[in-house]
């Protein structure tokens, strides 16, 4: 969420991974960043633990942190965290323990874990894709207003008051925003520039019609290559058509497989609607049925679980779909794995300039409502976010194993083996620009895309919109079931006649309570508009 424009060279210094959140500094609650800029020295929390402030850390505790991602299996995570926890023990007499929600059925598992009452200390949150406000309504998070100044003082001082306002539920702070990390996570299609030129496409792809021409060329000319290898869990066609051919804005209201509820446009951002009931949705279903019939993806797409990104890097598929941050690193990998491939990205926003900035709560961290050690948890978070040594260990691993520094950039050490040495932590809850280390795995040319986005981006309008689902909880649950049952087949052209499939889809959404739900959503948008205007 580029609240203020970053200097381009700072943007290029980021290590861009899957995931999540955004930028901007600014003055904190006391008007100064103060000690938040320190690097590796003893934190105020640690100092307090030895007497100042009366924080008692005499009892050793383990602090759990719930993250999303597939748990690493090569042993490097454990080696890195041995060092992290050595520092944690020295500073606050505690250790961190990662708890993973893996990507298989992650939406259900994440919400069930929060609803279980398990005493998790720290939790990765996101208001726009992890159902944070609904979980807050269910009492999943602890109010931390009174705890932050004492147990996470550097974090408290460094986050501007307006950002804390966006972190409140019912007037109380329930999350710490990842507000000082620059990234773009808008989605699009990656495609090979060399094959596009062979297909006679000599300008950047800007719509699905041009993409179809590319896919047909790959189908006709590249034996053994799947034009667009994908899994049924992806919703690229839906996101793509909504952003490319409509002005709608996705509302932060979870409905399972597909986000059903949107606003009409920036000009009518408080008017609720849905792409599914627009003609463009039928156009999408029709084109995707045609593409499926032409064999642009696998016949068994609805059951396919393969690693499509690895297949792209192996030259066995012509496209992949994800967001800009992933592309920035994938381009470097492709230049090595498929020399001359010139991997390009068709961001869905390019067609008509429909691009919201990222919310500052696209990533963040909450304290679990049942945490047994909330004070120590916040002390640990304060170190993770503000202690340079701990931060860089968690985010980048061990110098000399996962990376070396050369000319101010991270590079892979000699003899590095990805299977043996790769490391990641999926820490998307407190990254900050000031401790990021530039990497040679980030494509230098990514600035071109950033400049394009800057030319038409719009501010994210729903940072303070807290949707109360209590009156339509049953309807949203039923709607989510319908999107999961019928959505994948329609999006990937496997639902038979598109018109009949879309008609059935709409009818089942209506039967599930769509009209009641959108009426309540509209009522709350009207109230929200009154509050902020």
The CATH number given to whatever domain includes residue 315 is 3.40.190.10
Residues 6+ apart with CB under 8 A from 455: 353
Q: pTM for the complete prediction?
A: 0.73
Higher pLDDT, 105 or 25: 105
Residues 252, 117, single domain; the answer is no
Last residue of a domain, one of 400, 421, 436: 436
CA distances from 367 to 124, 129, 379, 483, 509 (A): 9, 18, 11, 31, 35
For residues 246 and 258, membership in a common domain is answered with yes
Please tell me whether residues 401 and 252 are part of one structural domain: no
CA angle 447, 453, 455 (to 5 degrees): 105
Same structural domain, 118 and 244: no
Q: Is residue 91 part of a domain?
A: yes
My answer on whether 326 and 222 are in the same domain is yes
Query: Do 318 and 375 belong together in one domain?
Result: no
Going by the DSSP 8-state scheme, the letter that residue 226 receives in this structure is: B
Residue 308 C-beta-side C-alpha neighbours within 13 Å: 23
For the chain, counts of helices (H) and of strands (E): 21, 15
| Separation CA 280–CA 433 (nearest Å) | 39
- Average pLDDT on 222-238 reads 94
Report the DSSP beta bridge partners of residue 272.
263
Question: Of 398, 421, 436, which one is at a domain's C-terminal end?
Answer: 436
233 close to 308: Cβ distance less than 8 angstroms? no
Of residues 15 and 282, more confidence is placed in 282
Report if residue 441 sits inside a domain.
no
Q: Are residues 274 and 287 in the same domain?
A: yes
| Same domain assignment for residues 245 and 300 | yes
* 448 part of a folded domain: no
* Domain, as residue range, for 346: 187-358+462-532
- Would you state the pLDDT for residue 54? 64
Spatial distance between the Cα atoms of 26 and 158, rounded to a whole number of angstroms: 8
Total of domains in the chain: 2
Average pLDDT score over the chain: 90
Residue 431 has pLDDT above 60, yes or no: yes
> Does 136 share its domain with 216?
no
Checking if the pLDDT of 118 tops 90, the result is yes
Confidence of residue 28 (pLDDT cuts 50, 70, 90): very low
pLDDT tens, 151-180? Answer: 999 999 999 999 999 999 999 999 999 999
The answer to whether residue 119 is domain-embedded is: yes
**Residue 414, in any domain of the structure:** yes
Residue where a domain stops, chosen among 401, 436, 471? 436
What pLDDT score does 366 carry? 98
Please provide residue 310's backbone torsions phi and psi, each rounded to the nearest 5 degrees.
-65, -35
Examine residue 442 and state whether it is found in any structural domain, yes or no: no
Residue 167 included in any domain: yes
pLDDT at 48: 37
pLDDT at 388 over 80: yes
Does residue 175 sit in the same domain as residue 194? Answer: no
Both 376 and 522 in a single domain? Answer: no
Q: Are residues 393 and 500 in the same domain?
A: no
Enter the DSSP assignment of 439: B
Whether 23 is in a domain gets the answer no
Task: Calculate mean pLDDT across residues 285-313.
Answer: 96
pLDDT band for 466, please (50, 70, 90 cuts): confident
pLDDT of residue 42: 33
């Amino acid at each position: 969420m580029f609240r203020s424009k970053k200097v381009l060279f700072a943007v290029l210094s980021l290590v861009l991974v899957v995931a999540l959140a955004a930028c901007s500094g600014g003055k904190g609650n006391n008007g100064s960043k103060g000690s938040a800029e320190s690097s590796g020295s003893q934190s105020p929390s640690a100092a307090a633990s030895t007497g100042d402030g009366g924080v008692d850390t005499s009892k050793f505790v383990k602090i759990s942190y719930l993250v999303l991602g597939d748990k690493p299996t090569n042993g490097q995570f454990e080696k890195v965290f041995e060092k992290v926890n050595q520092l944690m023990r020295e500073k606050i007499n505690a250790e961190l323990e990662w708890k993973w929600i893996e990507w298989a059925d992650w939406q259900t598992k994440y919400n069930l874990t929060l609803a279980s009452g398990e005493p998790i200390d720290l939790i990765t949150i996101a208001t726009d894709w992890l159902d944070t406000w609904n979980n807050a309504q269910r009492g999943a998070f602890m109010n931390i207003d009174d705890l932050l100044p004492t147990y996470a003082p550097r974090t408290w001082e460094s986050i501007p008051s307006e950002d804390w306002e966006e972190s409140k539920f019912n007037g109380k702070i329930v999350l710490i925003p990842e507000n000082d990390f620059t990234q773009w996570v808008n989605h699009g299609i990656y495609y090979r520039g060399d094959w596009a030129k062979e297909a006679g496409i000599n300008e950047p792809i800007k719509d699905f019609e041009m993409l179809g021409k590319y896919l047909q060329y790959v189908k006709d000319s590249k034996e053994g290559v799947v034009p667009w290898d994908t899994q049924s869990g992806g919703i690229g066609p839906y996101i793509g058509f909504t952003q490319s051919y409509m002005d709608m804005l996705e509302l932060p209201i979870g409905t399972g497989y597909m986000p059903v509820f949107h606003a009409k446009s920036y000009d009518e951002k408080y008017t609720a609607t849905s792409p599914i009931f627009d003609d463009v949705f039928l156009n999408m279903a029709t084109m995707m049925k045609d593409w499926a019939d032409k064999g642009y993806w696998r016949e068994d797409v609805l059951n396919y679980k393969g690693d499509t990104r690895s297949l792209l890097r192996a030259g066995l598929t012509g496209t992949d779909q994800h967001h800009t941050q992933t592309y920035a690193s994938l381009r470097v990998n492709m230049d090595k794995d498929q020399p001359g491939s010139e991997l390009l990205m068709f961001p869905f926003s390019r067609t008509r300039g429909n691009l919201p900035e990222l919310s500052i709560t696209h990533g963040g961290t909450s304290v679990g409502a049942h945490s047994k050690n909330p004070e120590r948890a916040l002390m640990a978070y304060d170190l993770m976010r503000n202690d340079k040594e701990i931060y860089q260990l968690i985010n980048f691993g061990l110098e000399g194993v996962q990376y070396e520094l050369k000319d101010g950039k991270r590079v892979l050490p000699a003899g590095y083996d990805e299977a043996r040495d790769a490391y990641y932590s999926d820490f998307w809850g407190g990254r900050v620009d000031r401790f990021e280390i530039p990497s040679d795995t980030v494509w230098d040319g990514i600035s071109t895309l950033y400049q394009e986005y800057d030319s038409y981006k719009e501010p994210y309008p729903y940072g303070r919109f807290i949707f109360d689902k209590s009156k339509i909880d049953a309807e949203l649950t039923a709607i989510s079931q319908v999107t999961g049952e019928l959505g994948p087949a329609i999006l990937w052209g496997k639902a038979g006649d598109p018109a009949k499939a879309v008609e059935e889809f709409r009818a089942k959404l209506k039967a599930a309570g769509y009209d009641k739900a959108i009426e309540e959503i509209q009522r709350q948008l009207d109230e929200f508009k009154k509050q902020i205007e």
